[in-house]
Amino acid sequence: MPMLPVHERLAELFILSRQRQLTTTEEVEQQQCLQVNAMYCWELARLNNELLLAVRTEDAEWQLDIDAQLFELRATGRVSRRRK
């Protein structure tokens, strides 16, 4: 899967910060990207933990649901709705 745009921008801002001081606007944008990245990582960890539970309980339907959520997260950066 391709990288999310927020991750590309975060990388750009990191490279810029190594070359010069970021502008105030860029610093705000960097903080926003870091926040989005943290939420992405948190959601990814949650889904991976749920997937482990689904595998261990042999719940195939739950596994498929989580796989779909993982695909959506990796493709869009978020899960549109949390399934139960």
pTM: 0.85
> Does residue 83 form part of some domain?
no
Residue with tokens 């944008």: 29
Sequence-distant (6+) residues with CB within 8 A of 77 are 4, 6, 36, 40
Q: 37: which 2 tokens?
A: 């990245």
> Does residue 10 form part of some domain?
yes
pLDDT along the chain (84 residues), means of 10: 89 98 98 96 97 97 96 92 63
What is the structure's pLDDT at 81?
72
Sequence-distant (6+) residues with CB within 8 A of 54 are 62, 63, 66
> Does residue 12 form part of some domain?
yes
- Total of domains in the chain: 1
Sequence-distant (6+) residues with CB within 8 A of 23 are none
Domain holding 64, by residue range, is 5-76
What is the structure's pLDDT at 83?
60
